Structure 1
Amino acid sequence: MKNTPLVSVLMPAYNSELYIAEAIQSILNQTYQNIELIIFDDGSSDKTRQVIEGFTDSRIIKILSDQNYGVVRARNEMIDRASGQYIALMDADDIADPSRLEKQISILESEQYDLCGSAQWVLDEGTGQIKKSKDKFSDADLRALLSVYCGLCNSAMTGKAEIFKRFKYDTSILTSEDYYLWVQMAAAGSRFLNLPERLITYRRYPAQTSSVHLEKFKLTTIEVQKKYLELLGINPDFYPRHLPFKQRLVNGIGLLRELNRRFPRVSLKANTEIYARFQYRRNGIYTPFTRLERLLVALWASLLVS
């Protein structure tokens, strides 16, 4: 690629001595070479700093903090320091496919999208098993589904630096900070794409599925979902949660109607996933009827703007 734009890769690190060398090397080995790699050691108490210091590549910018400020502040400081036209996010324990940046920058340079992610391999550190992520790929699906969950992997995202510098991470949201970042960008009209290639190996830890973590995540997720609807000009009372039949018809159909008007060409599958969040699980003998209800409502929504 001629006149390739500079890409700033941001890697926050805290007590990551076991994996950070592999993460760093996976960025340095990219087929797209016009990069700067900004690493923020956020007051690690293990040997993370020594590992970072062992790399002498001139493209690496090292920010070494003796105090732990938290990942949100670290990411924001790196965004401020980034000098590239594009910013790529990378966690210190994940692994990037060698072609990741080349493929994402090619998409972003087409000017059709503002932010580009990808499918991932998910490595369970508790069991050692590796699985394929379940992803959506189109802009309409990704932005509509932000009303019920975040379909974007933080460590797989690359986008225009001007957008990251405009929004940055909200320091008051410490559990779903990446979710809220994408919500703000999506509501402002930023265009998203997920590539079907699995360009990141993402590590998942047992602590991420603990009851304490899940409860905190659940509470902040509800607040982010309500905020997203507000930003879109949709009644926040439509936020997705289990409701009785009559009420979910009102709220579920209401949400789908508004989302499909704002994001034309939402897929039938995505509409089905959104409406399913209003239904109760384990319906026993009524399961075929709830599935039929879900399909009919989603089909109506998909045909609404076609």
Structure 2
Amino acid sequence: MHPLVSIGMPIFNCEITLISAIKSILNQTYRNWELILLDDGSQDKTLSIAQSFPDSRIKVITDKLNLKLPSRLNQAIAISNGKYFARMDGDDISYPERLQKQVEYLESNPEIDLLGTQFIVFDRYGNAKGKFKLKESHSEICSRPWSGIGLGHPTWMGKTEWFRTHQYRPKAIRMEDQDLLLRTFFNSKFACLPDILFGYRVDNLSLKKSLIGRYNLSIALVEQAWIQKNYLLAFGVLEQLVKASVDIFAITTGLNFKLLKHRNGSFPLSEDDLSKWQEIWSECSKEANLKVKI
């Protein structure tokens, strides 16, 4: 029997976090899935850890090359057997109900091509730092595309055929999600669940990665403004320049998260949010010998 959901997880030098990430998929309340682990030329123990799980639903792909995230995602999509394709990284954690709630929504709303969820941000010790409150309807999500389309990339689940029709572009480094959303929002339909179903790890801020992403996004905005004849998109370049200036100042002065507080989530977590997260973190990190820093 074919799985209904294929989860693509490109992995690169994530030996410390991978066990927790995989454990969060094994702990899913929804069981009809396959997990495709694509090693992107790791130089640590990532590959051996990936191969250590005996579950037949886990497939490990390795070719010793370093092709980067967009190409690996396209590779995962190409070999997926599921009706739906879901995203995840090797250092994040899915809540146990994530797949079930996303599948139920997509099955009940066949007009939706791509679905995200709300998520929290946590650090290397498992400390929850904050949460995001993303818009839920397509019109709200895409109301200001030149400022960014708010749909958390690691939380995505959508129709596999949609992903095959609209592939990631290998040149879209550090902004492959925004590039894909910009190219498709006018003829696709997105949505986001109101539930927190994902934990997104943020350990540090890289100025180089940030600037590469903003540069490539600026190029994509100009390109799509021309293709779609939607010249408002080009104004997003000015916004990217301002944001790049803030990033440079914050990171070079050491202010980092003090100035860029939104990177840890723009909203505080409730006691229920914290309690739920600590339970999930404890369960997923148990085998990785990790400890929550209270």
Q: Same fold by TM-score, threshold 0.5 exceeded?
A: yes
| 1:15-164 matches, cutoff 5 A | 15-110=13-108, 111-125=110-124, 128-164=127-163
**What is residue 214 of structure 1 aligned with on the other side?**
210
SS of the residue 1:183 aligns to: helix
In the alignment, the residues of structure 2 paired with residue 125 and residue 48 of structure 1 have an alpha-carbon distance, to the nearest angstrom, of: 17
Cα shift at 1:4: 9.8
**What is residue 232 of structure 1 aligned with on the other side?**
228
Using a 3 Å threshold, how does the CA distance of structure 1 residues 46 and 142 change in structure 2: closer, same or farther?
A: same
SS of the residue 1:239 aligns to: helix
SS of the residue 1:202 aligns to: strand
Q: Percent identity?
A: 33
Cα shift at 1:31: 1.1
In the alignment, the residues of structure 2 paired with residue 5 and residue 40 of structure 1 have an alpha-carbon distance, to the nearest angstrom, of: 18
Deviations, residues 67-118 of structure 1 (Å, cap 9, x unaligned): 2222222111111111111000011110001111111111111214111101
5+ long unaligned stretches in structure 2:
244-294
In the alignment, the residues of structure 2 paired with residue 231 and residue 241 of structure 1 have an alpha-carbon distance, to the nearest angstrom, of: 16
Q: For residue 157 of structure 1, what is the amino acid of its counterpart?
A: W
In the alignment, the residues of structure 1 paired with residue 70 and residue 111 of structure 2 have an alpha-carbon distance, to the nearest angstrom, of: 29
Given that 1:88 and 1:157 are in contact with CA atoms closer than 8 Å, whether structure 2 keeps it comes out as yes
User: Scaled by the length of structure 2, what TM-score is found?
Assistant: 0.75
In the alignment, the residues of structure 2 paired with residue 119 and residue 77 of structure 1 have an alpha-carbon distance, to the nearest angstrom, of: 26
Using a 3 Å threshold, how does the CA distance of structure 1 residues 196 and 231 change in structure 2: closer, same or farther?
A: farther
In the alignment, the residues of structure 1 paired with residue 32 and residue 233 of structure 2 have an alpha-carbon distance, to the nearest angstrom, of: 46
Given that 1:147 and 1:228 are in contact with CA atoms closer than 8 Å, whether structure 2 keeps it comes out as no
Given that 1:95 and 1:200 are in contact with CA atoms closer than 8 Å, whether structure 2 keeps it comes out as yes
**What is residue 169 of structure 1 aligned with on the other side?**
168
Cα shift at 1:124: 3.4
Larger displacement relative to structure 2 (131-140 or 229-238): 229-238
Higher relative contact order (CA 8 A, sep 6+): 2
Given that 2:173 and 2:212 are in contact with CA atoms closer than 8 Å, whether structure 1 keeps it comes out as no
Q: After the TM superposition, list the runs of 4 or more consecutive aligned residues in structure 1 that deviate by more than 4 angstroms.
A: 126-129
In the alignment, the residues of structure 2 paired with residue 218 and residue 41 of structure 1 have an alpha-carbon distance, to the nearest angstrom, of: 26
Using a 3 Å threshold, how does the CA distance of structure 1 residues 128 and 45 change in structure 2: closer, same or farther?
A: same
Cα shift at 1:242: 5.5
Deviations, residues 248-290 of structure 1 (Å, cap 9, x unaligned): xxxxxxxxxxxxxxxxxxxxxxxxxxxxx9xxxxxxxxxxxxx
In the alignment, the residues of structure 1 paired with residue 175 and residue 29 of structure 2 have an alpha-carbon distance, to the nearest angstrom, of: 32
SS of the residue 1:105 aligns to: helix
Cα shift at 1:213: 2.6
Larger displacement relative to structure 2 (67-76 or 99-108): 67-76
Using a 3 Å threshold, how does the CA distance of structure 1 residues 127 and 32 change in structure 2: closer, same or farther?
A: closer
Using a 3 Å threshold, how does the CA distance of structure 1 residues 230 and 42 change in structure 2: closer, same or farther?
A: same
Using a 3 Å threshold, how does the CA distance of structure 1 residues 17 and 227 change in structure 2: closer, same or farther?
A: same
Using a 3 Å threshold, how does the CA distance of structure 1 residues 16 and 230 change in structure 2: closer, same or farther?
A: same
Given that 2:134 and 2:150 are in contact with CA atoms closer than 8 Å, whether structure 1 keeps it comes out as yes
Query: What count of residue pairs does the alignment treat as equivalent?
Result: 240
Compare CA radii of gyration and give the structure with the larger one: 1
Q: For residue 219 of structure 2, what is the amino acid of its counterpart?
A: E
**What is residue 287 of structure 1 aligned with on the other side?**
none
User: Scaled by the length of structure 1, what TM-score is found?
Assistant: 0.72
Given that 1:43 and 1:65 are in contact with CA atoms closer than 8 Å, whether structure 2 keeps it comes out as yes
In the alignment, the residues of structure 2 paired with residue 237 and residue 96 of structure 1 have an alpha-carbon distance, to the nearest angstrom, of: 33
In the alignment, the residues of structure 1 paired with residue 36 and residue 238 of structure 2 have an alpha-carbon distance, to the nearest angstrom, of: 43
Using a 3 Å threshold, how does the CA distance of structure 1 residues 7 and 242 change in structure 2: closer, same or farther?
A: closer
Cα shift at 1:135: 1.6
Given that 2:173 and 2:213 are in contact with CA atoms closer than 8 Å, whether structure 1 keeps it comes out as no
Q: For residue 102 of structure 1, what is the amino acid of its counterpart?
A: Q
Given that 1:147 and 1:229 are in contact with CA atoms closer than 8 Å, whether structure 2 keeps it comes out as no
